[in-house]
Amino acid sequence: MASDNSHDAADLNSVLRTLSSLAAGSSQSTASAQPQNIHPETAGPIHRPTPEIASHNPHQPQSNALNRPATPTVDPATITTWPAALRYVMRTVAQSEETQLRIRGLIRSQHSHERQWWNSREALVKKQLDSKEVSTAKEDEAEITNYDAKVYKASAQMADALIAELRGLRIPFFVLRSGLVRDSPAGGDVKSSDQAASGVTRNELADLQRRMLELLQDLCKE
């Protein structure tokens, strides 16, 4: 059955090459790039914003500067509560079309790869059904298991790439200082009134990150 692996191996290898390119930071801008990886189910790598060069013409109106969103005074690496994170995002991401375009690219790429992986798996199953006379149920199961393991590894790489991109964009809860993240106490979570002073638990941080991803998808949907 080894010779039958070429169909989906090519597709998966293509995805893994894309993921490798993303991790190396060698991909092109998401405005024109082919789908990359985000996990969540991953969009392509994003170039960091390039500072605009001010005009040397004293008579030219500085419209770009006037339209630029105000620089936030809060360091996102210190934000540990949802209300503070929401205010920060609405003052930055919501007012920056460039940032929204980058996040849309991440979402688009993630969805594209998820569809590609699913379609390749369906094609593999169909191929096995069409070639029952030359393969056994055990061989088919091993082939599916091998494919699923490759997809799991690729999706994990894609998730790491997404987190790296969100860190680069300074999104709250993805740039939180390590000193503000603590293990959950054995007796349960600390009181909410103590949360801001003591940071967040790892479980709380995971929940806040998922909530932030949902907000970004709603804010940047096409």
Domain positions in the chain: 2-11+34-47+71-184+193-219
For residue 65, give Cα distances in angstroms to 55, 69, 90, 113, 158: 10, 9, 19, 37, 35
Contact between 212 and 174 (Cβ < 8 Å): yes
Determine the pLDDT at residue 134: 74
pLDDT (tens digit, 9 = 90+) per residue, 44-58? 333 333 333 233 344
Round to whole Å and give the CA distance between 140 and 92.
Answer: 50
Q: Give the DSSP per-residue string, 182-201.
A: EPPPTT-PPPGGGHHHH-EE
pLDDT (tens digit, 9 = 90+) per residue, 142-160? 999 999 999 999 999 999 9
Contact between 38 and 110 (Cβ < 8 Å): yes
Using alpha carbons only, give the angle 44, 42, 47 rounded to the nearest 5 degrees: 25
Supply 72's token pair: 């936030």
Round to whole Å and give the CA distance between 220 and 116.
Answer: 23
pLDDT (tens digit, 9 = 90+) per residue, 128-138? 888 767 778 88
Determine the pLDDT at residue 18: 53
Determine the pLDDT at residue 29: 37
pLDDT (tens digit, 9 = 90+) per residue, 204-216? 999 999 999 999 9
pTM over 0.85: no
Interhelix angle for 137-168 vs 6-23, to 10°? 20
pLDDT (tens digit, 9 = 90+) per residue, 65-123? 444 555 557 899 999 999 999 999 999 999 999 999 999 999 999 899 999 999 999 99
